[in-house]
Each structure stands twice: as structure tokens, then as C-alpha cells.
Amino acid sequence: MKTANRSDIGRIRLVNEDRAWAELTAGGIGVAIVADGMGGHQAGDVASQLAVDTFREVMSSVSGELTLEAAKTLLRQAILQANEVVYELASQNDHYHNMGTTVVAAMLLQDSGVVGHIGDSRAYKLRQGELCQLTEDHTLVNELAKSGQISAEEAASHPRRNVLTRALGTDREVEVDIKGFSWKEDDLLLLCSDGLYSMVSDEEMRLTLLESELDLDGRAERLIEQALHAGGEDNVTVLLVHSDSGEGQEG
């Protein structure tokens, strides 16, 4: 497994509230997470960091092989534990009132993977030149689009497209969407904050990920550059995981 992790504050924001982390566990399981924080008084970066730290702590205890169902259960538990940690701090400290974060996380086994998410950070899988979105945004605009009240074109430019219907840490109880998917050699997983896909189209992302002259780090850098060139209106984070039989890790 190879990984590349890149993040940029963007051209408008004063603080980078995105956080990301990826690692291959001692048991040979790939784990990765991207969190996009929100909240006043710079609380967003606290929420996203707490979520990543909690997730990392849970995943550090993983050893040996897991079944797909066991991985789904563990991923859900890790995200719910992060929700509890963020919610408790926000509840006990006025400085962090109402802080929260999106989260998208994945566990990669030998021939399958699991993705879990809350909010509008996304996971995509590239296989044989085709880019497939694995997650579904928890946003007001996505709900309107699903119910047919607005078109996909209207959703892309809707003034309330950033309004979340679900976030980590804002409520004591939260629902996590968990999804299994197949995972083969040479597959590429992209986890990203909305600062990427709101600026860069799926087709542009697909073409960049297919650029064979760029290594994994180079492709992550290129995606960041494209988001900045398009306006960089938000923090932008890109985490790539490549299913590679060779040893070593980038990023």
C-alpha cells in the first residue's frame, strides 16, 4: 500500500480546519481518514484533530486479519467514539460550543474495503480508468436533489450547498453510513474534503489520477493545485491510497 496526503489552507480561509491521516497497521490493514472541521473561534480544527486522533487510537489496536463484517463494526465504533469525544469537549467548554467536523474513513483489507462517513467529505475509487463515488453527501442540497426538488445542475451551484444534515460532534447520537466495496491490486482510493470536489470536476479528478508520469505524491499535489487555480475557496485536502503489491510508502 502506498499513500499520499496533501492539504492546503486555500486562498480565502484564515485557518486550515482539515485533518488527514493514513497508515498500514501491524496486521496489514490499510486505514485512512479525512476530517473537515467547522465551528467558530478556530474550534473546527480542534474538532477535526480530535476526530482523527481518536480514530487513530482505535485503529492502532487492530492486529491480525479481519472479516469484512468485523471491519464494518470496528469502523463504525471508531467514528462513533470520535463523535463522543468531540461532543463531550464541545458540551463542557463554551469556547468549543457547536463545533463539529465531517469525517470520511476507510479500512482496506486484502480484497475488500469499508468506508464510513458523516457529512460531505467524500470517498472515490478509481479502477481501470473509471472513477466511482463511494459516499453520498449528508447535505440539504443532496436531499433536495434526491427528492427531485432541484436538478443536479442546480445542486452544484445552490447557495446552501454547504449546509450539512449530519456532522460529527454536534449531537450526542449520530448515524454513520458504512459501505463495503471490492478492493483489488492497482485500485486507487481518494478521500477528500469538499474543498476539492467543489472546485474540481469528477472528470478532472479522474484524468489527474490517471496521469502515469506523476507518482502518487505528484497526483495529490496536482489535485491541490487544480483546486487552488479554480479559486481555492475552502481548505482542500487530498488523501490517496494505492493498492500496490510492492513495498514502501510515499507521502
CA 228/CA 248 separation, integer angstroms: 30
Distances, alpha carbon 197 to alpha carbons 61, 203, 207, 246, in Å: 33, 10, 14, 30
Residue type, 233: E
Contact between 49 and 99 (Cβ < 8 Å): no
Mean pLDDT confidence for 48-62: 95
pLDDT confidence of residue 150: 85
Average pLDDT over residues 166-184: 97
Which helix (H) or strand (E) is 63 found in, with range? Answer: none
Helix (H) or strand (E) holding 40: none
CA–CA separation, 5 and 27 (whole Å):
22
pLDDT for 248 equals: 42
If 0-12 CB within 10 Å is exposed, 13-18 middle and 19+ buried, where does residue 141 land? buried
The whole-number pLDDT of residue 42 equals 72
Cell triple for 100: 463539529
Using one digit for the tens of pLDDT, what is the confidence trace for 12-47? 999 999 999 999 988 889 999 999 999 866 799 999
pLDDT above 70: residue 183? yes
Most confident range (mean pLDDT) of 65-69, 90-94, 123-127 is: 123-127
- Beta-sheet strands, E only, within the chain: 2-8, 18-24, 30-38, 100-108, 112-118, 122-127, 130-133, 177-182, 188-192, 236-242
Q: How confident is the model at residue 245 (pLDDT cuts 50, 70, 90)?
A: low
* pLDDT above 90: percentage of residues in the chain: 79
193: closest CA among 7, 4, 3? 7
**Cβ(18)–Cβ(125) under 8 Å?**
no
Per-residue pLDDT tens over the stretch 113-154: 999 999 999 999 999 999 999 999 999 888 888 888 888 777
Q: How many CB atoms lie within 10 A of CB 217?
A: 16
pLDDT of residue 246: 53
* Rounded alpha-carbon distances, angstroms, from residue 99 to 93, 172, 212, 220: 10, 13, 40, 28
Domains and CATH numbers, the chain: 2-242 (3.60.40.10)
Instruction: Give the residue-averaged pLDDT of 71-98.
Output: 95
The whole-angstrom separation of Cα 132 and Cα 123 is 9
